Structure 1
Amino acid sequence: MRHPPRSVVLLVSAAAALLGSAVAPVVTASGATPACTVEYTVSNQWDTGFQGDVKVTNNAAAASSWSLTFDFANGQKVTQGWNAKWSQSGTAVTAANESWNGALASGASLSLGFLGSWSGTNAVPVSFKLNGATCNADAEPTTTASPTGEPTDPPGGGGGDGTAPELSVSGNKLVDSTGATRRLLGVNRSGGEFMCVQGYGFFDGPVDDASVAAIADWDANTVRIPLNEECWLGLSNIKPEYAGDNYIAAVKDLVAKVEAHGMTPVVELHWSYGQYTGNSAGCSDVHATCQKPMPDAQYSPAFWSSVAGAFKDDRAVAFDLFNEPYPDRATSTTTQAWQCWRDGGTCPGIGYEVAGMQDLVDSVRATGARNLILAGGIAYSNDLSQWLTYKPTDPTGNLVAAYHLYNFNTCATEACWNSTIAPVAAQVPLVAGEIGENTCSHAFVDQAMKWFDDRGISYLGWTWNTWDCSSGPSLISDYDGTPTSYGIGLRDHLRALNG
């Protein structure tokens, strides 16, 4: 989906949280409610650095300003942070309110975060104070890191022992290693495509085990993970802490968590390099800051060579080549658009050298990877009318047609689906990698899911993020899996399928 700039949405979400996201108070061992409650999470960690997320709830009287303090025990250092003014003196860390988020109502929660450095041991802080009052009194703070800094399951977390299936193509079906037919049914987890290039982090919201377990609790079996090629490749315009090996490690960690709950991870190239200012341009930036009409020949093949090399020994991971191609908006004829889609090169209306779907398939297979590959059509993956005609050659036979469907798309009626989608689904497996509607309800996706179910087609809801529905279809209002009115449709449908 062509979503709005997340830098704006992040500020709106943060402001909403500060204005009163009430949570149930923590009762201490003595039965009293502490003045404040802190949840400290190490959401990502690499050789010398880590990302810390802090959620603090004010259980006392309302305050016009706030200051949270805690101590590190092993020489960790805060290098930068967000949603607070971060400072450190020796081992003592202070996070004070910004000018725009000083008001903290009783029962309200704050979501803060920072990047830090560590060496040897990364023990979690054990004592927090909000405006001088001790938090989590008579109780240990909730954490998702062990005293050695290694991630562990939070209290009540999923910690699943499932096994994600190795999938392959058999006719127009997906099958596992036993030959049983499978469908990919689940959600998108947006964030990996924009947070790094905007300089905020790796993902939007928590990606700890509890948040992944919440997805599995909807009876989802698949999580699609959008990525950014510049962040993966570690190009110079990306902050080093979010680039290259650090970004790759964060993606691998999320993939492992998804698989640990028996779900299929689909890693996908969402934002890519190349300057495009033509019809329907999402941005004028040459860098990977928005959806481009096609992958670029300069970096996209290298991206897929690297990604495939990273996951070729894990056949449970599927590869989605490119989010939403739209060469049809740049070229003058549909034939030119489909030729550009498959063959790349110099495409009419696109100012950079294009990597076609065949180029990307070849890049993946050259590594020896036999993983499942998804290829979306033109018109933002909403047009598959000539997908079979221009189908790339895959020597392994594990190529799948990908389709995106929203209520505002051109092909959003059963008549269109019957004439253009059903013929493709009769020949090859079809995965609707994004479905959704912008009505904050689920009448349209209910209709679409029934049509897909009747034909054995896979589908993934957009998106498992806590955005306001006015900025795009958001399935949840909290990462514990609390659904929006739109998300209720997908959640209840998935549960009914397995009921």
Structure 2
Amino acid sequence: MARWWVGLLASAVATVLAGFGVVAATNAQAASGCRVAYAVPSQWQGGFSANVEITNLGDPISGWRLTWAFPSGQAVTQAWGASVTASGGQVTAANAGWNGSIATNGKVSFGFNGTWTGSNTAPTSFALNGVACTGSTDPTTTTTTTTTTTTNPPAGDAMAAVAAMQPGWNLGNSLDATGADETSWGNPRITEALLDNVRAQGFKSIRIPVTWGQHQGAAPSYAIEPAYLARVKEVVGWALADGFYVMVNIHHDSWQWISNMPGDRANVLARYNATWTQLASAFRDSSNKLVLESVNEPQFTGSSGDAQNAQLLNELNTSFHRIVRASGGGNATRLLVLPSLHTSADQAHLDNLNATFTALNDRNLIATIHYYGYWPFSVNIAGGYRFDATAQKDLTDAFDRVHNTFIARGIPVILGEYGLLGFDRHTGTIQQGEKLKFFEFFGHHAKSRKITTMLWDNGQHFGRTSFQWSDPELIAQIKSSWTARSGTASTDQVFNPKSAAVSAKTITLNLNGTTFSGLRHGGTDLVRGTDYTVSGDQLTLSAPLLTRLLGSRAYGVNATLSARFSAGVPWRIDLVTYDPPVLQAAAGTTASFAIPTAFRGDKLATMEAKYADGSNAGPQNWTSFKEYDHTFAPDYAAGTTLLKPEFFAEVNDGARVTLTFHYWSGTTVTYHVTKSGSSVTGAVA
């Protein structure tokens, strides 16, 4: 959805690959050879994240060990997809339990976080199981190959194939854009280089949302523009050539015209069927790694209720299944994805979708849902600015329902989109540490429930031309969660008031099954028992340590610590000097009102708004806590707190509103605003 608002055992992997026509080798003499692609998608002061892709050019291998030497003294701190050890500058990466087999021309990838000082020169010499990776095979060996293609996968392949699709990524806000072309929502044209770089990040599948409506002719044929269909096929072809599993769908058509089905059933169904008839023909002979999804986030306007909604969605999903299967070729057994209503994990919607699966009785079907978190946390409203027990339970309940309804019964599930709704505006809507805890737990529980996940990315995460991640901490946490849990903590900010003496501070560690291994400042390991102590899950930073690191105690972040655990990525802890923020009187309009604010090192968490009688003021008045970045927002650079037109649009004229600003230090500050027509005045309480 474009959100503007609104392991596998080696034997199982071998089975899946065989089912999709992978080349198998028979050797007259064992051939060996390999190619390694080493990439550093993100780097920061003293640290970096790397991805390594191995291509086996020789005979199939079972169990691999890649070795190399760092040229600049770098060190690996955490790894995923492989077990990495080092002796001096020599590094060895050994396969995980689920990725030990590499077919001829097959690929496997892993990643790691590391540290560097001085420079971060990439290694150029690698050896796979003792054989130098030169990009070619040993010329003294001979190899003959045979190709086998299975067009009717045996029972169980759908579950194994969906597992092999983990992890996945969405090419959002491009071909799904509803304007004239794929650039109309601000992203550049899709390139092969983009897909190559996404693949290098370790993603195994890519969802390519496509909106077709603005590229279709009139009834009765609803012909898709040949140039547009050719463009979609070109992008799909690039992705398949990169080795991705690829999912193509009908996307924003869901709300543009399909949602009218309750009042215009015949015409909507005719157009839907005509669309899928053309798409089924276009992709009939594509690789079995192409997966088709019937419709994105189905919804219906003006229906009589959930019973009719379920009936209409069943009709669409059933019609989609019939058309694709009847088109023959690879579509006879192609993996097909069917959504629940709204792609919701509510039990009633899951049960309705399960009834469709039972009726269709097709072993090559996949269920799909989307998940954007517990809504108050996901958009930062109603005081839900922490990833607390309520937000965590919403996630576990949803994933458990999906597992019990489908996966436990042998039906695979793809979580076709995930993220946080607050990302629609920018990723800072949710505080960094709380955000990282969400994604750590999300990855862990999805993995435990065997749900394949696809990150929604509309261009805000992975740069479409820079090929860099906008938030290295976030992607490091996401990647780590694919294979291991990471330790976190109750906070990533330790506040020290400038107006008081420095004192020891204690935070709670969330070990998440790991063990605490140490605390570091830059490249220096701090001394346990002197600089800090650990008692159970309580980490206490000593007053002498804080005094040393806070230095002159300028407002803001004075130093950053790194808590390290036995697995996963480190947890960053910022040491912050602050004093209570100071607000000043202001005058403005409902279109432009800013409160001068000296934040003095603190950060705004949320805002309450109430009238004099205690009732809630402003939009969404079922809660006093307003929506962050929608009705209010801090501007730290300008030294102001903005109250947006959306807030004043639902404030009573002439009534005084008391605002309570809550800051991450725990400080609260009250302020009064009064709207008179389009004029607004503000005063310190």
- TM-score, normalized by length of structure 2? 0.39
**Residue 481 (structure 1) aligns with:** 468
Give the unaligned 5+ runs of structure 1.
7-163, 280-285, 287-292, 344-355, 468-473
Gapped regions of structure 2 (runs ≥ 5): 7-148, 377-392, 428-434, 486-567, 569-685
How far 1:230 moved relative to its partner? 2.3
Determine the structure 2 residue equivalent to 1:263. 244
Residue by residue over 1:334-365, the C-alpha shift from the partner in whole angstroms, topping out at 9 and shown as x without a partner, is 3332222102xxxxxxxxxxxx2111111211
> CA shift at 1:437, angstroms?
1.3
Structure 1 match to 2:355: 389
Q: 2:227 matched to 1:254?
A: no
Pick from 393, 399, 416 the counterpart of residue 417 of structure 1.
399
Partner of 1:466: 459
Whichever residue aligns with residue 447 of structure 1, its letter is F
Amino acid at match of 1:375: L
What is the rounded CA distance, in whole Å, between the counterparts of 2:403 and 2:192 in structure 1? 36
Structure 2 residue identity aligned to 1:321: S
The match for 1:456 among 450, 457, 467 is 450
What does residue 377 of structure 1 align with? 340
Show the counterpart of 2:325.
Answer: 365
Q: 1:340 aligns with which of 312, 329, 332?
A: 312
Sort the Cα spacing of 1:262 and 1:392 in 2 relative to 1 into closer, same or farther, 3 A. same
Q: Does the residue aligned with 1:402 lie in a helix, a strand or coil?
A: strand
- Native 8 Å contact 1:216 1:261 kept in 2: yes
**Can you list the C-alpha shifts for 1:258-317, whole angstroms capped at 9, x where unaligned?**
1121111100110225285899xxxxxx9xxxxxx9993132211111111111212221
How far, CA to CA, are the matches of 2:314 and 2:260 in structure 1?
22
Give the letter for the 1:399 counterpart. Answer: L
Deviation, 1:199, is: 4.7
Residue 169 of structure 1 deviates from its aligned partner by 7.9
Q: Which structure 2 residues correspond to residues 22-171 of structure 1 after superposition, within 5 A?
A: 170-171=155-156
Change (3 A) 1:459 1:326: same
2:281 aligned residue (293, 309, 313): 309
1:432 equivalent to 2:423? Answer no
**Partners of 2:418 and 2:291 in 1: CA distance:** 18
Instruction: Report the Cα distance in structure 2 between the residues aligned to 1:233 and 1:405, rounded to whole angstroms.
Output: 30
Q: Distance in 2 between matches of 1:301 and 1:412?
A: 36
Over the residues paired in the alignment, what is the CA RMSD in angstroms?
4.0
> Residue 313 and residue 184 in structure 1: after superposition, are their counterparts in 2 closer, same or farther (change >3 A)?
farther
Deviation at 1:248, TM superposition (A): 1.2
Distance in 1, matches of 2:319 and 2:248, equals 18
Q: Does 1:443 align with 2:437?
A: yes
Within a 5 Å distance, the mapping from 1:274-293 to structure 2 comes to 274=257
1:339–1:224 CA distance, 2 compared to 1 (3 A): same
Task: Say which of 478, 493, 496 aligns to 1:490.
Answer: 478
> Counterpart of 1:134?
none
In 1, are the aligned partners of 2:354 and 2:406 still within 8 Å (CA)? yes
Question: Which amino acid counterpart does residue 359 of structure 1 have in structure 2?
Answer: S
In the TM superposition, residue 196 of structure 1 has moved relative to its aligned partner by 5.8
2:192 alignment counterpart: 209
Asked if 1 retains the 8 angstrom alpha-carbon contact of 2:215 and 2:228, the reply is yes
| Separation (CA, whole Å) in 1 of partners of 2:398 and 2:267 | 27
Using the TM superposition, give the Cα deviation of residue 171 of structure 1 relative to its aligned residue in structure 2, in angstroms. Answer: 4.3
Give the drift of 1:409.
5.2
Q: 1:404 aligns with which of 355, 370, 378?
A: 370
Correspondence 1:296 to 2:290: no
CA separation in 2, counterparts of 1:167 and 1:488? 38
TM-score by length of 1: 0.52
Taking the aligned partners of 1:305 and 1:432, their CA distance within structure 2 comes to 26
SS in 2 for 1:388: helix
Counterpart of 1:189? Answer: 171
1:489, 1:399 → 2: CA distance? 31
Tell me the SS of whatever aligns to 2:298. Answer: coil
| Aligned partners of 1:326 and 1:378 also within 8 Å | yes
For the 8 Å contact 1:342–1:391, the answer to whether it is kept is: no
Alpha-carbon spacing, 1:442–1:462, altered in 2? closer, same or farther (3 Å): farther
Cα deviation code 1:420-452 (max 9, x no counterpart): 543222120001011111352343232222112
- For residue 389 of structure 1, report the CA deviation from its aligned partner: 2.2
Higher strand proportion (structure 1 or 2): 2
Q: How far did 1:454 drift?
A: 1.1
Q: Which residue of 2 aligns with 1:124?
A: none
Alpha-carbon spacing, 1:276–1:336, altered in 2? closer, same or farther (3 Å): closer
Name the larger-Rg structure: 2
Residue identity opposite 1:459 in structure 2: T
- Alignment identity in percent? 18
What is the CA–CA distance in structure 1 between the aligned matches of 2:236 and 2:184, rounded to whole Å?
13
Residues 1:213 and 1:379: Cα distance change in structure 2 (over 3 Å)? same
CA 1:379–1:295 in structure 2 vs 1: closer, same or farther (change >3 Å)?
A: farther
Distance 1:235 1:194, change over 3 A: farther
